[in-house]
Amino acid sequence: MNAVYSPPALFEQHQAEMLPAIETELKACVQAAYGAGLDDYAHMLAYHLGWEGEGHGPKAQGKRVRPMMVLLSAAAAGGDWAPTLPAAAAVELVHNFSLIHDDIQDNSQLRRGRKTLWVKWNVAQAINAGDALFALAHLALKRLDGRVPPERALAAHRILPQASLTLTQGQYLDLSYETRPDLTPADYWPMISGKTGALLAACAELGAALAGAPADRLADYRRFGELVGLAFQVYDDFLGIWGDAALTGKSAESDLLAGKKSLPVLYALEQDGAFAERWRQGPLAAEDLPAMTLQLEVEGAREYVQAEADRLTQEALAALTAAGPETDASLALEELARRLITRKA
Amino acid sequence: MNAVYSPPALFEQHQAEMLPAIETELKACVQAAYGAGLDDYAHMLAYHLGWEGEGHGPKAQGKRVRPMMVLLSAAAAGGDWAPTLPAAAAVELVHNFSLIHDDIQDNSQLRRGRKTLWVKWNVAQAINAGDALFALAHLALKRLDGRVPPERALAAHRILPQASLTLTQGQYLDLSYETRPDLTPADYWPMISGKTGALLAACAELGAALAGAPADRLADYRRFGELVGLAFQVYDDFLGIWGDAALTGKSAESDLLAGKKSLPVLYALEQDGAFAERWRQGPLAAEDLPAMTLQLEVEGAREYVQAEADRLTQEALAALTAAGPETDASLALEELARRLITRKA
């Protein structure tokens, strides 16, 4: 079998080509924010994006999953991915704006193993740095002008803010859930659909739309992206309890200790067993963790969450097939989807 | 003299027609955020925009200066203002997003005489509500599709995020100035150019560009808007010390008590007289206010600030003349500029 037909090799080949292009495009977009007297402002943005400050480098930059999704979707839809780079940068900037604000809202001290922006500067400046990335995301799309036809650029201008808006709806639900005692797994799906599904749906749609995919295929690309996003988040909840905190780079705390109502917890609360009984008695202490983590597993939460991540990924792959991709970049998209639910961090 | 040629009458005639249209358009734009399970999220947005909750109504909605600037600029440039309504709504949404975040950053309890969003809900939800308005602002521009040619819509998609980005640069400066002891009036101008000038410049440019004004006129419209914005902010600083707190609707405190380095203060610090000496000794108390406010006036700060607001307005009117407006809506624009520096609140 020729190596070129191996999805992992194909994915890595695309990644090797695309990641440097994404980074170059991101830097060109963020450059628009720099100016006289704004050194520290620029430094905040470059620090958060992993380009400057202690611990900068690929690990601090994150996986750039969303821009990869844009570019691979464009290639899968039979287009040239290079002209879609501004949209790839735009979604990554939206994602990073949301991370900065999320870290403030959740009082998180660490992100990708480094101090969060509000800890390193302050809350006021961190809110503003997030706003700057949000503005830069929308400004990035102007770099599509002249590289794609006007109608396609206008489609991108509809897709990006719609996804950003849906993101805030998901974030609203997530924040409001903190004080709600009566949540079930049914409440979970609209929340992650907003927080994680919407932007990945937009990525796949942006790639395909900018590549000129026919309108009736766009819904399939969207659905592929949305399902990949849901699987990604479900698996993130898995890692939040059964992952290695040193690898995820978040605070060295289980989601259980933080009291986060993630999918495993909501599943177990619905089972109404020993886990639920202890959970309802109040916050867990560090010494409760081993027994409670085991109890979750005993009650089937670990198996359920893993199965949900698998199911969603299978559904995503079916949506991708339905989209009728035109090139073997679709194999790289499949590989991306699989990697997101087998990663260690 | 026929009443129709009186600028105040003309302005009020336009305002009577435009304000309800702006409110209708804003509501249609914000509607995109509503959905099942999102009642309180929607209520936050509607509360901030002055449509719901205690004290709602025209006073709570603010003056809608920015959308008026878009519509009047479109009309002055010889276009129909109705198709530019989505851009008018967009700038008002950007303005309101920035107010929500500003109130958090400044720890402000009151806005337009009502509790600020973070006081009424909490900081996390208020950050998110600001983000929602930011997303809605950019989403609003999609309502231009089909109402203006694609090139003009794309111009709006460049102008709006650029202004939003510049806004964050001004906000960065403003926040960073809080801890800088060495500021002069020279530091003031780039800060307010970002915080207030950029969005009003964008308003005038958006109106003219969407109305199809020739490219060489757009810079004049921009300059008109920018100068109106600077005058507006300078006069705001004037009201912050010599205005009536009950009318401005902000916290019932002089900017002096808050330690705000507004233009009158920076002017007096540069004079290096008795005001500067006392200011440098530390925060003022309420009982210092009468003497220190008088001292500012004695040292010429009040006269200086009033003269700057007048000068900037005169320059703005000259830029408007240079723009060669094509209809008498320009008289309403002139009147708007004058009203902004003679308002009581």
Q: What is the pLDDT of residues B11-52, one digit of tens each?
A: 999 999 999 999 999 999 999 999 999 999 999 999 999 999
Residue B1 has pLDDT above 70, yes or no: no
Write down the mean pLDDT value for chain A. 94
B134–A164 C-beta distance less than 8 A:
yes
| Structural domain boundaries, residue A312 | 3-340
A46 Cβ under 8 Å from any chain B Cβ: no
Q: What is the pLDDT of residues A263-305, one digit of tens each?
A: 999 999 999 999 999 999 999 998 999 999 999 999 999 999 9
- Residue identified by tokens 């969303």 is A66
A161 to chain B nearest CA, in Å? 5
B247 — pLDDT class (breaks 50, 70, 90): low
B238 — pLDDT class (breaks 50, 70, 90): very high
A101–B127 C-beta distance less than 8 A:
yes
User: pLDDT value at position A1?
Assistant: 43
- Mean pLDDT value of segment B223-232: 98
Residue B282: which residues within 8 A CB-CB, separation 6 or more?
A: none
A148 CB neighbours in chain B (<8 A) are: none
ipTM rounded to 2 decimals: 0.95
CATH of the domain at B320: 1.10.600.10
B162–A139 C-beta distance less than 8 A:
yes
Among B104, B127, B165, beta carbon nearest to A139? B165
**Percentage of chain A modeled with pLDDT above 90:** 88
A168–B132 C-beta distance less than 8 A:
yes
A139 to chain B nearest CA, in Å? 5
User: pLDDT value at position B248?
Assistant: 60
A157 Cβ under 8 Å from any chain B Cβ: yes
B38–A172 C-beta distance less than 8 A:
yes
Evaluate whether residue B210 is within a structural domain.
yes
Q: What is the pLDDT of residues A180-197, one digit of tens each?
A: 988 999 999 999 999 999
Q: What is the pLDDT of residues B65-105, one digit of tens each?
A: 999 999 999 999 999 999 999 999 999 999 999 999 999 99
A343 — pLDDT class (breaks 50, 70, 90): confident
Evaluate whether residue A345 is within a structural domain.
no
Selected residues 173-192 of chain B with any CB under 8 Å from a CB in chain A: 173, 175-176, 190
Evaluate whether residue A16 is within a structural domain.
yes
Query: Where do runs of H (alpha helix) occur along chain B?
Result: 7-31, 39-48, 58-61, 65-76, 85-105, 117-120, 123-140, 150-177, 185-192, 198-210, 215-242, 245-248, 263-271, 274-279, 289-298, 301-322, 329-340
B150 Cβ under 8 Å from any chain A Cβ: yes
Q: Nearest residue of B to residue A133 by CA position?
A: B165
Among A128, A165, A175, beta carbon nearest to B172? A128
Q: Do strands A110-111 and B110-111 pair parallel, antiparallel, or not at all (unpaired)?
A: unpaired
B249 — pLDDT class (breaks 50, 70, 90): low
Both structure tokens of B336: 């708007």
Q: Which of A3-17, A18-32, A299-313 has the lowest mean pLDDT?
A: A3-17
- Structurally, how many domains does chain B consist of? 1
Evaluate whether residue B216 is within a structural domain.
yes
Residue A214: which residues within 8 A CB-CB, separation 6 or more?
A: none
Q: Nearest residue of A to residue B124 by CA position?
A: A105
Contact B50, B61 (CB under 8 A): yes
- Mean pLDDT value of segment A312-323: 98
Residue A247 has pLDDT above 80, yes or no: no
Evaluate whether residue B173 is within a structural domain.
yes
Evaluate whether residue A168 is within a structural domain.
yes
3-class SS string, chain A: CCHHHCHHHHHHHHHHHHHHHHHHHHHHHHHCCCCCCCHHHHHHHHHHCCCCCCCCCHHHHCCCHHHHHHHHHHHHCCCCCHHHHHHHHHHHHHHHHHHHHHHHHCCCCEECCEECHHHHCCHHHHHHHHHHHHHHHHHHHHHHECCECHHHHHHHHHHHHHHHHHHHHHHHHHHHHCCCCCCCHHHHHHHHHHHHHHHHHHHHHHHHHHCCCCHHHHHHHHHHHHHHHHHHHHHHHHHHHHCCHHHHCCCCCCHHHHCCCCHHHHHHHHHCCHHHHHHCCCCCCHHHHHHHHHHHHHCCHHHHHHHHHHHHHHHHHHHHHHCCCCCCHHHHHHHHHHHHCCCCC
Evaluate whether residue B131 is within a structural domain.
yes
